[in-house]
A and B are shown apart, each in its own frame.
Chain A
């Protein structure tokens, strides 16, 4: 009886794994097939001929090298701004007393619970009147602003758990607050930084609706909108669409493979953001 139960469990788990993974493998095999073979019916479950031509075409003549560059730049710039602003904000809220502390912190936390969808139109008006429409800064500013409340909230929580005795030992060694922040608090906070950074980077890397709204210039597209537009334009060239998709997924998969524990922690923590 126990054996039967175990076999059933294994079969069901395997079926689940096939359903989870097969669509991704199907994307890979489609991207690896010569485009002439794509519209054969029945669809090939396994590729009969392998070629890297779709990847080469996506990367060069379909401009995916440019889109990749755009995505990397926007994500990196947002990451840098979020990192500097949020960590300093969190440090101030964790260690200093100042006028308006609780007031401004309440504001920040208020931003956490505003549903994002009510903000799209005002953000659009704001970015337009700032003259940032159709520019990378229009993306970077909004991505950074959206990530700061949650990141600060999480980091402040972590900084609070670092004992204040360390603060005193640093000031005795005649280091200032900045020294404390830079050489003590930051290095100690790696377990908090890495997951939240992964979560933010992933969110920005994959962000679609906002980029779609404000980027018009085809050469300024980030990967998600490039993919969506590409599929709309050439519905038949699935091999290239999926080659592009895999190019966009590659950095995410690498991160996942090498930092799996932090990666899952980041996505779990990010859920609280709602």
Chain B
């Protein structure tokens, strides 16, 4: 987004044309606005926002996004980096592995969600591997009947699908690390881990930050996998922000409330991104 920086006068235009539509849309969130009463929606002030903060499912959805983010973002970054670091060469094997790791990225969210649903059913592949092949548990696990396990399944899907993407971005960055830095490190007798810690990671800091920002925004926008795999259940326990907003808007047609929800979500993402930028600058 750095390239989008605008000069002073443009900044005001930017505000006018960015903020105005958002405000216009924002108006919805102050009305008791349902598909059944479009023409007689009544002004309710901050009532929808008050409802958001008193809504237990809203807080569950925030909790679930945090779980999902805390597992899937570092998971994708660490594995993506490891893959890129190991495969940063031009031989045939590396190319083959890179292609294989990228396949989940080109699998759509819908198809990936269907595959995972099938794998985690009671008599599915995952329970078979855990119980009958590796004997890690005595009986089959109900992956989707418990909210914590279900969130883990969803996070694993996020990692499975995202590692290849992180790997490709890291690979591009690794190609920019000057070779002579590694050579001088070898002369100083650095081990492989020290090489990564002292040379590679500092050289790709901006890429690292970019990936982190993108993945966190992506985590907040998770929708399809939750919608298809757990449907937010059992009893709304695995609801995330977008599935809850979608439920309110297009199942219950409570559009005013859903608008308020969407603004609170957008604000949370903006806030989190701003904090990260600030943190990054001060380091």
Contacts and interface: CB of A to CB of B under 8 A. Distances in A.
Given A17-B97, A245-B111, A113 B4 contact: yes
Contact of A121 (B114, B117, B249): B249
A26 interface: yes
B14 A20 contact: no
A256 B100 CA distance: 12
A42 B165 contact: no
Provide the main secondary structure of the chain B interface.
helix
Given A17-B101, A117-B265, A103 B13 contact: yes
Interface string A240-274: 01100100110011001000100110011001101
A118 interface: yes
A226 to B, nearest CB: 9
A124 B168 CA distance: 35
Contacts of B4: 109, 112-113
A238 B160 CA distance: 21
A158 B217 CA distance: 27
A21 B103 contact: yes
The SS class assigned to the A binding surface is helix
Contacts of B128: 41-43
Nearest to B118: A238
Contacts of B249: 120-121, 124
Contacts of A68: none
B152 interface: no
A39 interface: yes
B168 A267 contact: yes
Contacts, number: 179
B81 interface: no
B13 A102 contact: yes
Given A43-B124, A249-B107, A260-B99, A20 B265 contact: no
A45 to B, nearest CB: 8
B156 to A, nearest CB: 10
B144 interface: no
Interface string A187-205: 0000000000000001001
A30 B124 CA distance: 12
A274 B101 contact: no
Contacts of A109: 4, 6, 14
B157 to A, nearest CB: 10
Interface string B212-249: 01100100010110011000000000000010011001
Interface in B199-220: 213-214, 217
6 residue pairs, one from A and one from B, having the closest CB atoms = A110-B18, A206-B108, A107-B17, A106-B13, A245-B111, A224-B110
26 contacts: A19-B160, A20-B164, A23-B115, A24-B104, A26-B119, A39-B123, A43-B123, A106-B6, A110-B14, A114-B21, A115-B269, A118-B22, A118-B25, A121-B262, A157-B3, A205-B108, A209-B223, A209-B224, A209-B246, A227-B111, A227-B114, A231-B228, A238-B118, A241-B114, A249-B108, A274-B1
Given A102-B13, A227-B110, A231-B117, 8 more contacts: A21-B100, A27-B111, A118-B22, A121-B255, A208-B109, A267-B165, A268-B172, A271-B169
